[in-house]
Amino acid sequence: MQKVKGTYDVLPQDSSQWLFLEHHIHNVMKKHHISYVRTPVFEYYDVFHRQTEASDMVTKETYDFEDRSGRKITLRPEGTAGVIRSIVENKLIAPNHVLKTYYLGANYRYERPQKGRYREFYQTGIEMIGDKDAILDAELIQIAYELISKLGIKQVVVKLNHLGDHESRLAYKEALKNYLEPFKDQLSEDSQNRLSSNPLRILDSKIPSDQALLKDAPRLDQFISDEDQKYFQDIIKILNTHNIPYEIDTKLVRGLDYYAHVVFEIQTLIEGFGSQNALGGGGRYDNLVSELGGPDVSGIGFALGLERLLLACELQGISFEDSNHIDVAVLHLDKHLKKEAYEIYKFLQKNNINVDFDFSNKTFKTQLKNAIQSNLNYVIILGEEEVANNTVQIKNLKAETQETVKKEDILNYLNKQLG
Ligand code: AMP
């Protein structure tokens, strides 16, 4: 049996990095008073397949199936739509209130797997719903940046663009289409298909000949209203004040169609990342909440990819505190002492010591060898003599010292040593 293409296992030797990253995310969110939401991994098909959403992700990459009662179901390809569905269904949106929530979970997309791109992958993201204000946009971008930079990841830049409101985007789409139409035959096959369905996506084509054709094309920023221009400048002023490294990229459109106004992507310039260099991204959405049955309020959100954050840490040599770390193991000198050793293990565990126990019947020598290999600091050794005297031996593996300790003093002794 093999795992499904595009998936991966988190093995015991790598799992502490995942736990560390997840703790980090929860801590940063808590600091900003953002509340955690968890929604199902699958939703009704219509939550993601909305009429207005013509992105590749939704039209070509979703895992859709019928359940045993014939209901059309989709595995979530992204976090936002399900979270908004839940917020609307549970009537969490109140007037004059900005709801701040975050999620962390798996998403599913039928994409071509490559480095940093999987068919099951994890994202964390924030949605702030209820108001449209440049301060909120700037705050959200800063939190996304903080989540990355506080891990110690360097060489990160925020790419920013303004897509304008619905009307200016429509006008721009039309102008871009009219401009590219005469060159249609010279466009790549993908871009030709997008010309009628979603011309904005041609802007972020990676194909050089497409980019060459776009050189003299009308620019998005020429279509944006004065009000939106000012809004964008207000965001930039705040980012400047707080020293967030950003670049304006007028070709940045992002994959999803629900975005309007500001969009951003956080990219890393770390060597070895390859083409999948976006750690995350997001933007504002005006119509998504109402499309999913809620009131007419604006929201803003982003998502970061956890696999890519871990890859960035790995490439930059950032090591994590081992959150699975065990301080001490209880070993037994002979099989018939295992039960007594087990009781010491349970006692220490109940008293919050990070303790391990070897449940196999390995020889003492092997137990000790394993403990040394696991980089443990202490082992507690129990033999005949110790049982008879109500004592144990505590060996400091780093200092290579050993002491006899009374059974009732073990906890005190360890607490002092582990300080
Ligand atoms: P998106 O939801 O497409 O805006 O993606 C946001 C972030 O999620 C990206 O910048 C990546 O870090 C991550 N991501 C998206 N798709 C994948 C994937 N197939 N595999 C791994 N990470 C992904």
Q: Is the CB of 79 under 6 A from ligand 1?
A: no
The DSSP bridge pattern shows strands 156-162 and 278-285 to be unpaired
Supply 69's token pair: 């009662």
78 pLDDT more than 60: yes
For a pocket test of ligand 1, which of 80, 83, 122, 123 has the largest count of ligand atoms closer than 8 A to its C-beta?
A: 123
Residue 63 identity (one-letter amino acid): Y
257 pLDDT more than 80: no
CA–CA distance, 152 with 318 (Å, rounded to integer): 7
pLDDT in tens, 207-233: 899 889 888 899 888 899 999 999 999
Q: Please state the atom number of ligand 1 nearest to the C-alpha of residue 265.
A: 10
pLDDT in tens, 8-50: 999 998 898 999 999 999 999 999 999 999 999 999 999 999 8
Across the beta sheet with 42-44, what order do the strands follow? 42-44, 72-75, 64-66
Please, are residues 309 and 153 in contact by the beta-carbon 8 Å criterion? yes
From residue 356, alpha-carbon distances to 78, 93, 324 in Å are 39, 47, 11
Q: Which helix (H) or strand (E) holds 19?
A: helix 12-31
Q: Is the CB of 113 under 6 A from ligand 1?
A: no
- Residue whose token pair is 């108001």: 131
CA–CA distance, 132 with 91 (Å, rounded to integer): 19
From residue 393, alpha-carbon distances to 333, 341, 379, 383 in Å are 11, 12, 8, 9
Note the pLDDT of residue 322: 60
Q: Is the CB of 159 under 6 A from ligand 1?
A: no
Task: Give counts: helices (H), strands (E), the chain.
Answer: 15, 16
Mean pLDDT, range 138-165, rounded to an integer: 94
Q: In the beta sheet, which residues pair with residue 394?
A: 380, 403
How many angstroms does the Cα of residue 291 sit away from the middle of ligand 1?
24
All domains of the chain in start order, with CATH: 12-165+225-315 (3.30.930.10), 328-418 (3.40.50.800)
Q: CA Rg, the chain, in Å?
A: 28
Residue 25 identity (one-letter amino acid): I
Please, what's the b/e burial string for 362-373 (b: 16 or more CB within 10 A of its CB; e: otherwise)? Answer: eebeebbebbee
pLDDT in tens, 152-183: 999 999 999 999 888 888 899 899 999 999 99
- Return the percentage of the chain with pLDDT > 90, whole number: 73
Instruction: Report the predicted TM-score, pTM, of the whole model to 2 decimal places.
Output: 0.86
Polymer length in residues for the chain: 419
How many angstroms does the Cα of residue 303 sit away from the middle of ligand 1?
8
Mention every residue, 6+ apart, whose C-beta is less than 8 A from residue 65. 73
